Amino acid sequence: MSASLAVVSNNPAPEAVSPVEEPLTARIRRLQAEAKSMAREHIHMLETSLADIARLSAEIADGGDAYPVGAREMARQMVSDCESRLLGLEAIMHRTSGVH
């Protein structure tokens, strides 16, 4: 029994051309909407990371003598800073989302 072989190409398939081309202004609006959506996702990732940093910093700040005093104090300040940055980002996103 012989194995069948197939030719595999890493060349991208040609894009299908729509019979009716999308008007340029519609394409611009679509791309802008897509970019804004991606930016919101990116900011959400930042918010998640800041929350993780705040949690980790709080653990270190409350970690007791196992951590150096300077590291605990720096972590304590980072908790406050991350929390205020999160509030600021939430306010910005609320203000720019069109929700009033």
- What is the sign, positive or negative, of the torsion defined by CA atoms of 65, 71, 75, 76? positive
The residue assigned the tokens 């980790």 is 56
Domain holding 87, by residue range, is 46-95
**Is 68 a member of any domain?**
yes
pLDDT in the model for residue 97: 83
Q: What is the mean pLDDT of residues 81-86?
A: 96
Q: What is the mean pLDDT of residues 64-92?
A: 96
**Is 89 a member of any domain?**
yes
* Tally of domains in the chain: 1
**Is 87 a member of any domain?**
yes
pTM exceeding the 0.85 threshold for the entire prediction: no
What would the pLDDT profile of 13-52 be if each residue is shown by its tens digit?
A: 656 555 578 999 999 999 999 999 999 999 999 999 999 9
**Is 79 a member of any domain?**
yes
- Which tokens is 44 given? 């959400």
**Is 2 a member of any domain?**
no
**Is 57 a member of any domain?**
yes
